[in-house]
């Protein structure tokens, strides 16, 4: 259900259709038809998807003969024969899908985009939902706290601390090259 919502948010805000998706053990990946969404668009898409979750919209399942599937505003025309299973996120998305889904969008919990990369002329977007999103958030917070302790720095000052470390490393390399010469 989270994938349906995020894919529709990409269409709504970025005019980017989902070409394919993969449900992995740790994250979900969708390939969208967009050459490279910037950070602002990604934030807007993520916000829109989460708005749909927080509105706790009904998710309905329709099973109809293939010839009746056209009465729904589907993102992609199904290729299956016989009965078509359509998942509707009320007033937002209609997708032919045989997967498992929640009854209300609020049950998804949260959607968090993790990363993007260029892929076959489009963009591959990795994301997590629900409990996975919470676990990733905790992992990132733990990592951030560890870095803050390691650099004896606050979160806001971490970029400066890393820049200082890189500068010191470059200076050390320069000095070492001069000693060798």
Total residue length of the chain: 181
Per cent of the chain over pLDDT 90 is 70
Position 147 scores a pLDDT of 92
CA separation for the pair 70, 147 (Å, rounded): 53
Q: What is the pTM of this model?
A: 0.83
Per the structure block, which two tokens stand in for 36?
A: 């490279």
Position 19 scores a pLDDT of 92
Q: Of all helices (H) and strands (E), which one includes residue 141?
A: helix 130-151
Position 46 scores a pLDDT of 97
Q: Are 20 and 7 in contact (CB under 8 A)?
A: no
Position 91 scores a pLDDT of 95
Q: Are 52 and 105 in contact (CB under 8 A)?
A: yes
At 34, phi and psi to the nearest 5? -145, 130
**pLDDT tens-digit map of 66-104:** 888 889 999 888 888 889 999 999 999 999 998 889 999
Order of strands, sheet of 111-119, starting from the edge strand that comes earlier in the sequence: 18-23, 28-32, 122-129, 111-119
Query: Residues of the chain whose pLDDT is less than 50?
Result: none
């Amino acid at each position: 259900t989270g994938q349906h919502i995020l894919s529709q948010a990409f269409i709504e805000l970025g005019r980017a259709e989902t070409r394919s998706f993969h449900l992995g053990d740790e994250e979900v990946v969708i390939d969208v038809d967009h050459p490279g969404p910037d950070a602002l668009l990604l934030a807007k898409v993520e916000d829109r998807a989460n708005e749909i979750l927080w509105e706790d919209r009904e998710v309905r399942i329709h099973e109809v003969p293939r010839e009746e599937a056209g009465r729904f505003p589907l993102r992609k025309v199904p290729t299956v024969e016989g009965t078509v299973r359509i998942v509707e996120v009320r007033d937002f998305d209609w997708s032919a899908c045989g997967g498992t889904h929640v009854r209300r969008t609020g049950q998804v919990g949260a959607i968090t985009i993790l990363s993007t990369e260029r892929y076959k002329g489009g963009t591959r977007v990795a994301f997590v939902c629900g409990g996975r999103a919470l676990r990733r958030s905790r992992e990132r917070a733990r990592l951030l706290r560890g870095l803050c302790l390691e650099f004896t720095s606050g979160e806001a000052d971490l970029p400066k601390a890393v820049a200082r470390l890189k500068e010191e490393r470059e200076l050390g390399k320069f000095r070492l090259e001069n000693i060798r010469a």
